[in-house]
Chains A and B, each alone.
Chain A
Amino acid sequence: MALSTAPTPTTDDTPAGLHDGGDRRRRWRLPFSPYHLLLLPLAVVFVMPLLQMVLASFKTDAEIRQVPPTFFPAHPTVDGYVRLFHESDVLRWLANSVVVATCAILAHLVLCSMAGYGFSRLRFAGRGVSFVLLVGTIMIPTQLLMIPTYIMFTKLGVVNTLPAVILPWLTSAFGVFLMRQFFLSLPRELEEAARLDGCSQFGVFWRVVLPLAKPALATLAIFTLLGSWNDLIWPLIAINDDRWYTIQLGLANFQGQRRTEWSLLMSGNVVATMPMVVFFLVAQRQFVATMTFSGMKG
């Protein structure tokens, strides 16, 4: 993985003092790299909002309204969480989001890898045209699709049901493209050997190619997880019934009803955000690889 490799010498802490009056520098040298003086405040700025969110979720509303505010909760309480679970359907929204994300990831992994394999390895009539059409749709923004998709889903009777949120996440041109690029980078010899041994085309794909594709599948899964878990605008349009809210839509609308009940809202925020944060901390390498990959797409 790229981030663990050695940094380039340009920005390394090499003793550049050789050129510009090294003596004075050496005498005043800090016991640690001076970059800590820059990076530590920076890290604090980035973490502080999340820290404030977590701390507020353990305060009472009265304590949050105190001026000047406390930093740590004076009397830590889980009251916000208790009320959140009693006064909102947050568990149901979470379950909906888990269902959406699970379906999205599974469908993405199966459909994108199959299509990616087909487009990279198999030769058949219509391949070129359908691939060009597919890749062309990468440029189409969601905003253009919202209105016709809403009308279409209304006619199909899926609006206001969970499938309305899941359907657009079944597969994606970006995912197909990602998997195709990955398969193109694999050597063909293994597959040819398996074919000669009498393995079917699907058997080759399932038993030989997919096990090799784990890094690409991990990237695709994380990409889909982040997108489907965090999406707001499409559930907002497709779902009116609060039984089918996703966690993001549920919280956004709950905020509208409980404007200033901060301990409640921050508890909800923690519940919605922490699964992704924990995932990130556990699988940081894969997350970073995913972010880097979408950056390298261009």
Chain B
Amino acid sequence: MGGARRAATGWLFVGPSTLVILGLSLFPAGWAFYLSQLKWNGFSEARAVGFQNYTRMTDDPELGSAALHTLFFTVLYVPTSVLLGLGIALALNRRIRFIGLYRTAVFVPFVASAAATGILSNYLFDPQFGFVNSVIRRLGLPPQRFLEDPNQAMTVIALMSLWASLGFTVVVYLAALQDIPRDLVEAAMIDGANRRQVFWHVVLPQLTPVTVFTTIWQLIGALQLFDLVYTTTRGGPVESTKTIVYYLWEQAFKQLNFGYGSAVAYVLFAATMVITLAMILYSRFAKVQAF
């Protein structure tokens, strides 16, 4: 087959996908950078402002507090989802009766959408007739305001995020646990290691690549929190749950600050990349070999 003919066949196969992905990913990503140098609301004349949108960010208290809220959520959500994911996977990794049912129960919330999870959160955590407060009252404790309390709203959102996403970390850990070679564990047992020692010195090191992966994955998700905020608190009460992406969405699609919105999006993208790369480099350095 000649080179031209080969190229034609090849591009027939990869052309459509390449075109769509370049047109709907790479091109807009480049355009977003151009937009981030403009002051533009989509209607009026666009004005080139250089890096002004970026310098403006350093002096934007609303963005600062959105970053803090996002950080707070991340700290609540990421370590818990990784540790609980591991713990639940260890508990589920055995052959006992009904184990299939237990696994299904843990996985099934994963398929619920963020919109449904949000509406459900409003219902379960309703201060007056919510299920959670009815349990709390029955335990003889004072009912809580939950999503209506600026000090509790983000914690409730983190709890419901965990409910909806733990199935994922559990599945990943469970698969990794079952990939650990039996010989490794048996050899350690023969050498006289007890179960705790086997866990700390054999099982856990084998799981480290998965831990690095799930941490990065959950971290990226946490930094992009939007849907659950939109369907529960819309950033309130008193802006206590306004995250970076929620603020970005408001700036771009409520205030029509396309330029400033793009700049915020770029900084978020850069921050995510830096954190991800740092974690990958650290795992390389620590000889974890996750990537």
Contacts and interface: CB of A to CB of B under 8 A. Distances in A.
A118 B101 contact: no
A176 interface: yes
A252 B118 contact: yes
A119 to B, nearest CB: 6
A230 B210 contact: no
Contact of A147 (B10, B119, B265): B265
B109 interface: yes
A148 B210 CA distance: 35
A288 B107 contact: yes
Given A137-B26, A272-B115, A118 B31 contact: no
A176 B230 contact: no
A9 B128 contact: no
A124 B32 contact: no
Contact of B171 (A151, A226, A292): A292
B275 to A, nearest CB: 12
A56 interface: yes
Contact of A277 (B108, B171, B220, B268): B108
Given A8-B185, A115-B18, A168-B24, A46 B115 contact: no
B178 A287 contact: no
A49 interface: yes
Interface stretch (B48-56, B85-93, B144-152): B85-93
B282 interface: no
B266 interface: yes
A241 to B, nearest CB: 15
Interface in B220-244: 220, 224, 226-227, 230-231
A46 B268 contact: no
A298 B175 CA distance: 14
Interface string B109-120: 111111110111
Highest count of chain B CB atoms <10 Å: which of A5, A39, A112, A266: A39
B94 A123 contact: no
B163 interface: yes
Contact of A170 (B20, B163, B227): B20
A295 B172 CA distance: 6
B78 interface: no
A281 B105 CA distance: 10
A125 interface: yes
Interface stretch (A11-19, A81-89, A186-194, A213-221): A11-19
Interface in A60-85: 64-69
A143 B134 CA distance: 38
Contacts of B13: 114-115, 117-118, 122, 205
Nearest to A146: B252
Nearest to B106: A46
Interface in B196-232: 198-199, 202-203, 209-210, 212-214, 216-217, 220, 224, 226-227, 230-231
B185 A10 contact: yes
Interface string A139-178: 1111111111111101000000000000110111100100
A196 interface: no
A144 B115 contact: no
Contacts of A280: 107-108, 111
Contacts of A67: 128-129, 134
A229 interface: yes
A148 B113 contact: no
A266 B178 contact: no
A94 interface: no
Contacts of B113: 229-230, 232, 248, 272-273, 276
Interface in B1-52: 3, 6-7, 9-14, 16-18, 20-22, 24-29, 31-32, 35, 42
A74 to B, nearest CB: 14
A53 B126 CA distance: 13
A233 B229 CA distance: 11
Contacts of A172: 21
A134 B18 contact: yes
Contacts of B114: 230, 232, 248
Contacts of B273: 139
Interface string A248-288: 11011001000000100110110011001101110010011
Interface of B: 3, 6-7, 9-14, 16-18, 20-22, 24-29, 31-32, 35, 42, 88, 90-99, 101-116, 118-120, 122-124, 128-129, 131, 134, 137-138, 163, 166-168, 171-172, 174-175, 177-180, 182, 185-186, 189, 194-195, 198-199, 202-203, 209-210, 212-214, 216-217, 220, 224, 226-227, 230-231, 245, 248-249, 252-253, 258, 261-262, 265-266, 268-269, 272-273, 290-291
3 shortest A-B CB distances, which residue pairs? A124-B10, A118-B13, A295-B172
Given A52-B120, A229-B113, A277-B111, 6 more contacts: A53-B123, A140-B25, A145-B25, A233-B245, A280-B107, A298-B217
29 contacts: A3-B178, A8-B177, A10-B185, A10-B195, A11-B90, A12-B95, A46-B105, A49-B120, A52-B123, A68-B138, A114-B13, A114-B17, A137-B22, A139-B273, A140-B25, A143-B269, A147-B265, A148-B31, A173-B25, A232-B114, A252-B115, A266-B119, A272-B115, A273-B111, A295-B168, A295-B172, A295-B217, A296-B172, A298-B290
